[in-house]
Amino acid sequence: MSSIITYCSHCYVKNRMNLSRPPQEARCGRCHHPLIDLTPVVATDANFEALIASDIPVVIDFWASWCGPCLQFAPTFNAVATELEPRFRFAKLDTEKESNLAARFAIRSIPSLLVFQRGQVIAQRSGALPASLFRQWLETLPRAS
Ligand SMILES: [Zn+2]
């Protein structure tokens, strides 16, 4: 039986997901909600380590409310998240509220997209991009299994 580790969209606890069953049927061992929601979660200092530990690549949008391009990009990010979960997981990180995390990854321009897998940054780019290019870029990244 093959399984992978990813976080619960509701309580952010790490879960083992059995790959032989449809991912939409997976439930969290702790809170019993569906493990995978199709909308991005909010990354915070409290849940960050659990999010990035995922075997499934996690795409994090580093943004801020004062940043026009970030706000313009938000609907694209949400739409692609709905389309590509759980092939990828998606989260948003407010760089004003989570300035420690923004500093840790030396975020200088936003929006910045960082993709994490098993605790490591595996890809990074900055600037808003259209959905087609966003998808294309993600397709170049490794799969979870
Ligand atoms: Zn849960």
3-state secondary structure 42-70: ECCCCCHHHHHCCCCCEEEEEECCCCHHH
Place of tokens 């969290």: 28
Measure 62 CA to ligand 1 centroid, in angstroms. Answer: 24
Active site (annotated) includes residue 31 = no
CA-to-CA distance for 11 and 122, rounded, in angstroms?
A: 25
Active site (annotated) includes residue 28 = no
Measure 33 CA to ligand 1 centroid, in angstroms. Answer: 6
Amino acid at 47: N
The model's confidence at residue 145, banded by pLDDT at 50, 70 and 90, is: low
- pLDDT (0 to 100) of residue 35: 95
- According to DSSP, the β-strands at 89-94 and 58-63 are parallel
Over residues 21-62, the pLDDT tens digits come to: 898 899 999 999 999 998 999 999 999 999 999 999 999 999
The model's confidence at residue 10, banded by pLDDT at 50, 70 and 90, is: very high
pLDDT at 114 over 70: yes
- pLDDT (0 to 100) of residue 100: 97
Mean pLDDT of the chain: 95
Active-site choice (8, 11, 31, 67): 67
CA-to-CA distance for 119 and 116, rounded, in angstroms?
A: 6
- pLDDT (0 to 100) of residue 143: 72
* Contact criterion met (CB below 8 Å) for 121 and 113: no
Strands (DSSP E) contained in the chain are 3-7, 14-18, 41-42, 58-63, 89-94, 112-117, 120-126
Over residues 72-98, the pLDDT tens digits come to: 999 999 999 999 999 999 999 999 999
The model's confidence at residue 144, banded by pLDDT at 50, 70 and 90, is: low
Measure 36 CA to ligand 1 centroid, in angstroms. Answer: 9
